[in-house]
Amino acid sequence: MSQFHLLLTLHVLSAVIWIGGMITARLVVHPISLQFEDMQQRIERNLKVTKRLLVLVFPFVVLSIATGVIISSGNRSPMIHIKESIWLLMFLNYLFIIYRSRVATRAFNNFDITGARKVMTPVANLFLPINIILGIITIYLGVSLRGT
């Protein structure tokens, strides 16, 4: 296996884990946590899941970006620049999710359940879906760049 193939494998694997983790959190874990009748328990579970997801995917986010930069060096295709721009937006959105999660955790720890819910609701309903859609687009662009 060449160095290029190893980098490409790590790049694809890290993207799958990052995007797959977000899809799992949004489409599987979040609906289950909504079944809790107690709002405090619901918020606590969502905060724990979000924290675990953010910690789990962080090395894969970094690995995906690093391998993507290495793989694309020297390639001047406009599609590469579009893909890198989308990954940058996804990374900034990821950082914003981390920020909101920390703000919500502080509110929750200060017994402000309503405040924690207000901060986290857009994460599940807006920021995660944005990253999921952008991630699927980048996977498609990556496949298009590599050909069949």
Please give the model's pTM, rounded to 2 decimal places.
0.89
Residue 74: CB atoms within 10 A of its CB come to 7
Mean pLDDT is lowest, of 6-15, 22-31, 112-121, for 22-31
Contact between residue 15 and residue 64 where contact means Cβ atoms under 8 Å apart: yes
* Phi, psi for residue 38 in degrees, rounded to 5: -80, 115
Contact between residue 139 and residue 147 where contact means Cβ atoms under 8 Å apart: no
Cα separation of 113 and 104, whole Å?
9
Q: If we measure between CA atoms, which residue out of 58, 51, 62, 46 comes closest to residue 122?
A: 46
Cα separation of 138 and 107, whole Å?
34
Q: In the chain, how many domains are there?
A: 1
Cα torsion at 71, 76, 80, 86 (round to 10°)? Answer: 110
Determine the straight-line distance between the first and last CA of the chain, rounded to whole angstroms.
19
Cα separation of 107 and 20, whole Å?
28
**Predicted local confidence at residue 138, as pLDDT:** 93
Q: Tokens for 26? A: 């949004």
Mean pLDDT is lowest, of 7-11, 28-32, 101-105, for 28-32
Q: Tokens for 110? A: 């200060």
Summarised one tens digit per residue, pLDDT across range 26-76 is 898 888 877 877 889 889 988 998 999 999 999 999 999 999 889 888 787
Tell whether the model's pLDDT for residue 148 goes beyond 60. Answer: no
Cα separation of 48 and 68, whole Å?
30
**Predicted local confidence at residue 76, as pLDDT:** 78
Range of the structural domain that residue 85 is part of = 3-146
**Predicted local confidence at residue 131, as pLDDT:** 95
What is the Cα 45 distance to its own chain's centre? 18
